[in-house]
Amino acid sequence: MTFDAEWGTDSATGASATGPVPHSLERAHLVGIGGAGMSGIARILLARGARVSGSDAKDSRAFLPLRAQGAEIAVGQAAQNLDLLEDGPSAIVVSTAIQQDNPELVAARQRGIAVLHRAQALAELMAGYRVGCVAGTHGKTTTTSMLTVALQKCRLDPSFAIGGDLNESGANAYHGVGDLFVAEADESDGSFLSYRPDVAVVTNVEPDHLDHHGSAAAYVDVFEQFVDRIEPRGVLIVCADDPTAAELGDRAADRGIRVRRYGHAVTGPGDALMSRYSQSHGSGWVRVQLLGTDDADVAQAFDVEVAVPGEHMASNAVAALLAGMELGAPTAGLLEGLAAFGGVRRRFEFRGRAGGVRVYDDYAHHPTEVAAQLRAVRETAGNGRVLVVFQPHLYSRTRMFATEFAAALDGADEVIVLDVYGAREEPEPGVSGAMVAERITRARVRYEPAFDRAAAFAAESARPGDVLVTMGAGDVTQLGPEIIAELDRQYPGG
């Protein structure tokens, strides 16, 4: 596995589970426990009866439910945090973001404590389940969430681990009593190669995370490797409307892997042919025809409804439908669950209304995601204008895709571009939000490097009837409540 040399433990040869908790994770210490992926693993471990400790650089809202379940959590990272559990951890769990000189990682190695990458730990927790994994450059969080909610509606009670919080439960992970495990499969660092899915979905494949993978070809290749991880007699579900994902499916079929496709031009048996998308009052419908598997089969046709706008969301729902069917759920129950899906936090999440302006927050941070979401926002806005407060994420991504971001943001009427949210990267000379702003040609645009002035300026720019979206993977999400407060001051009682 790609993590062996760095982290030192291969989940395929580590201790296997004899009960609900793998032996290696009976006493687990999670470095960066407040993160979306790590907190999810902690939730499942605690629910299964493991003893859990962890640390993070700063306090987090994720700590409260984990502490309530019994986790011992320290703010700040230090070697002594490995002593939070009375007899110490049987393993520590880390993500790719944890540096090699992290004091807890160094101390664990000095003490001979097993080190697992986050994905390896999750793979351990999947053992013994029928596993559905959703991968793709875009849409994997939403599709995983849709699949989870649809299976829950079928009363199958799946365990799940998702990169965002379900609006229905407010949780990103859960230990269910059923025999299904649904997981979002993250390609950003190749860690999804730890998983062995029975059902794998690939929504699309577009070059991203090249700071890790190095080239577009290497990025595509890691998806090829992921497909080869599918269990024998498993199935790959791909979006035929995405050229690279479609080619991935063709090559998988040539290798003997069963493939089901969904999209607007599919023709194969078992495929889902999509047509006639419509949208009204914040919901979308797409007509789907399930093509027969042999001459004797009659094609099934029905409408798939999803209570979040955008044709890309309807496409994600069809992917979830096929995956649910492959996992043994009834079609009628899946359709009912998809229609009831309430969304995921930070995926076109409604934050409030003030002064006649509707304010949303969205996680889109790749040009294709931005363009797709703005098309959906345009439908939602009706006769109103579309305003976006956009925060580029990562210096490397901004440098590589500045022109593409600008073209996508031209789908709005007015754009405020913030400075880059660097996350794990150090600043690059000459790379800033201005690189995006100066390439926008149609929308009215302003580059605002001062984060603390952005909310006031956005509120001043908005007028009744507008839809305003804060967009990006960084701390731009904090601006929604501030913008609403500013609008309330401008339009008291509105």
Q: What is the CATH number of the domain that holds 472?
A: 3.90.190.20
State residue 374's pLDDT score.
92
- 357-362 and 349-354 strand pairing: antiparallel
State residue 487's pLDDT score.
93
* CA distance linking residue 168 with residue 178, whole number of Å: 19
Of the listed 9, 96, 137, 141, which one is catalytic? Answer: 141
Mean pLDDT of the 401-417 span: 95
Q: Which residues fall within 8 angstroms of residue 221, CB to CB, at 6 or more apart?
A: none
Is 224 in the same domain as 98? no
Structure tokens at 221: 């290749």
- What values do phi and psi take at 209, rounded to 5? 55, 40
State residue 15's pLDDT score.
34
Q: What is the DSSP-derived secondary structure letter of residue 487? A: H
> Per-residue confidence at 212, pLDDT binned at 50, 70, 90?
low
Kind and range of the H or E run holding 460: helix 451-461
- What values do phi and psi take at 29, rounded to 5? -115, 125
Is 145 in the same domain as 71? no
Q: What is the DSSP-derived secondary structure letter of residue 24? A: G
- What is the number of structural domains in the chain? 3
**Vertex 249: Cα angle to 245 and 252 (nearest 5):** 135
State residue 383's pLDDT score.
87
Is 113 in the same domain as 142? no
Is 142 in the same domain as 245? yes
Type of residue numbered 147 = L
Average pLDDT, the chain: 88
Question: Are the C-beta atoms of 140 and 36 separated by less than 8 Å?
Answer: no
State residue 379's pLDDT score.
81
Say how far residue 311 (Cα) sits from the centre of its chain: 18
6 is catalytic: no
Picking from 283, 318, 340, the residue at the C-terminal end of a domain is 340
Is 156 in the same domain as 264? yes
Is 288 in the same domain as 315? yes
Is 373 in the same domain as 415? yes
- What values do phi and psi take at 397, rounded to 5? -65, -40
* CA distance linking residue 359 with residue 351, whole number of Å: 6
Mean pLDDT of the 412-421 span: 95
CATH number assigned to the domain comprising residue 269: 3.40.1190.10
Using alpha carbons, select from 463, 474, 442, 482 the residue that is nearest to residue 381.
Answer: 463
State residue 159's pLDDT score.
95
Is 187 in the same domain as 106? no
Residue 123 lies in a domain: no
* CA distance linking residue 360 with residue 82, whole number of Å: 41
Of the listed 96, 140, 380, 414, which one is catalytic? Answer: 140
Question: Are the C-beta atoms of 290 and 266 separated by less than 8 Å?
Answer: no
Is 150 in the same domain as 109? no
State the residue range of the domain holding 46: 4-117
369 is catalytic: no
Mean pLDDT of the 331-353 span: 83
355-404 tens-digit pLDDT: 899 999 998 888 988 998 898 888 888 889 999 999 999 999 999 899 99
Question: Are the C-beta atoms of 78 and 103 separated by less than 8 Å?
Answer: yes
Residue 19 lies in a domain: yes
Q: Say if residue 172's pLDDT is above 90.
A: no
Q: Say if residue 16's pLDDT is above 50.
A: no
Structure tokens at 150: 């649809």
Q: For tokens 């579900």, what's the residue?
A: 237
> Per-residue confidence at 325, pLDDT binned at 50, 70, 90?
very high
Mean pLDDT of the 241-252 span: 95
Is 113 in the same domain as 152? no
C-alpha atoms less than 13 angstroms from C-alpha of 128 in its C-beta half-sphere: 12
153 is catalytic: no
102-159 tens-digit pLDDT: 999 999 999 999 999 999 999 999 999 999 999 998 888 889 999 999 999 999 999 9
Structure tokens at 261: 């496709």
Q: Say if residue 3's pLDDT is above 70.
A: no
Residue 181 lies in a domain: yes
Is 461 in the same domain as 321? no
Residue 303 lies in a domain: yes
Question: Could you give the 3-state DSSP secondary structure of residue 8?
Answer: coil
Q: Say if residue 298's pLDDT is above 80.
A: no
- What values do phi and psi take at 109, rounded to 5? -65, -40
Picking from 321, 340, 359, the residue at the C-terminal end of a domain is 340
Of the listed 184, 311, 326, 369, which one is catalytic? Answer: 184
Is 211 in the same domain as 315? yes
Q: Say if residue 8's pLDDT is above 60.
A: no
Question: Are the C-beta atoms of 219 and 151 separated by less than 8 Å?
Answer: no
> Per-residue confidence at 14, pLDDT binned at 50, 70, 90?
very low
Question: Rg of the chain's alpha carbons, rounded to an integer?
Answer: 23
State residue 12's pLDDT score.
34
456-483 tens-digit pLDDT: 999 999 999 999 999 998 899 999 999 9
State residue 10's pLDDT score.
35
- 180-184 and 199-202 strand pairing: unpaired
State residue 271's pLDDT score.
94
Query: Any idea of the CA torsion for 21, 24, 25, 27, to the nearest 10 degrees?
Result: 120
CATH number assigned to the domain comprising residue 52: 3.40.50.720
Q: Count Cβ atoms within 10 A of the Cβ of residue 36 and give its class: 0-12 exposed, 13-18 middle, 19 or more buried.
A: middle
In DSSP terms, 445 is beta-bridged to 415
Residue 122 lies in a domain: no
Q: Which residues fall within 8 angstroms of residue 143, CB to CB, at 6 or more apart?
A: 134, 136, 201, 203, 316, 319, 320
* CA distance linking residue 492 with residue 494, whole number of Å: 5
Picking from 306, 340, 374, the residue at the C-terminal end of a domain is 340
